[in-house]
A and B are shown apart, each in its own frame.
Chain A
Amino acid sequence: GQQLNQSPQSMFIQEGEDVSMNCTSSSIFNTWLWYKQDPGEGPVLLIALYKAGELTSNGRLTAQFGITRKDSFLNISASIPSDVGIYFCAGLVDHNTDKLIFGTGTRLQVFP
C-alpha cells in the first residue's frame, strides 16, 4: 500500500532557529497537505499545495510541492515555543472521496 515517510521523526531545537522537515512517498500525489497537531488536540490544516513546484507560505511556515510529485517539504522560520507539536504531511489519495494518507509525523520540541 501507499506509504508516506517523514523525516526527521523528532527534532529538539532552540527558540529562534529555523526548522526543515520533509515527506516522501512511493506514489505520486496531485495534492499535498501539511497539518499540525498540538498536544492533546486534533490536527489542524496549515498549508495545502496543489501543483508540482508550488511554494506556499503561511506566516513563518513555507511548504513546497516537490517537482517529482513524490515529496514535499515544510520549513518553519524563527521558531517560537508555540510551534511545539507534531507535524504531519498528507497526500490526497482520492479526489472523489477526499481520502488522505498521512505521514508518520515529525515531533518538534522548542526550548526557550
Chain B
Amino acid sequence: NAGVTQTPKFRVLKTGQSMTLLCAQDMNHEYMYWYRQDPGMGLRLIHYSVGEGTTAKGEVPDGYNVSRLKKQNFLLGLESAAPSQTSVYFCASSFRSWTRETQYFGPGTRLLVL
C-alpha cells in the first residue's frame, strides 16, 4: 500500500513550456485534491475532484487544468508555464464526504519555472 504517490519529484521548466504532474492513490479514495505551497502562504487549493470524471476549481485555479479519467489518478496540467507557478505541488486524497479520514498527502513535486 503506497498511499499517495506523485510524479515527478522535481522538474525545471522554461517559461511557456507545458507539463503534466501525476498523482496516484491506491486507497480507493473518492476525493482528490491538488494544492500549491508557497513560502509563508500555507497550502492553497488549485483544483479538486469528488469522483471519477468530475473536477472543480479551488482557490487558485488560473493557469492549471486537471483531469480525473480514472479513480486512482488525478492529473494536473500546466499548458504554458510561468515563473509565478514556481512552487511545491501537493496532491491529497480522502475516502469520501467526511469519514474522519482526511486528507492523505503525497510527498510533493518541486517545480521551478525559469
A: which residues have CB within 8 A of B? 1, 4, 6, 9, 31, 33, 40-45, 48, 88, 92, 95-105
Contact = CB atoms under 8 A, between A and B. Distances in A.
9 contacts: A42-B106, A88-B42, A92-B98, A96-B97, A98-B31, A99-B48, A100-B103, A101-B45, A102-B44
B43 A102 contact: yes
A1 B58 CA distance: 12
A12 to B, nearest CB: 17
A9 B35 CA distance: 20
Given A42-B108, A101-B59, 8 more contacts: A40-B108, A42-B105, A44-B105, A48-B100, A98-B31, A98-B97, A101-B45, A104-B41
B42 A102 contact: yes
Interface in B2-51: 4, 31, 33, 35, 40-45, 48, 50
Contacts of A92: 98, 102
A43 B45 contact: no
A38 B30 CA distance: 26
B42 A97 contact: no
- Across chains A and B, which 7 residue pairs bring their CB atoms closest together, nearest first? A42-B105, A102-B42, A102-B43, A104-B42, A98-B94, A43-B105, A98-B102
Nearest to A6: B42
A95 B56 CA distance: 15
B90 interface: yes
B94 to A, nearest CB: 5
A21 B90 CA distance: 24
Given A88-B43, A104-B41, A97 B48 contact: yes
A98 B98 contact: yes
A95 B96 CA distance: 10
Contacts of A100: 45, 102-103
A80 to B, nearest CB: 23
Given A42-B4, A95-B97, A97-B50, A103 B102 contact: no
B1 to A, nearest CB: 15
B103 A103 contact: no
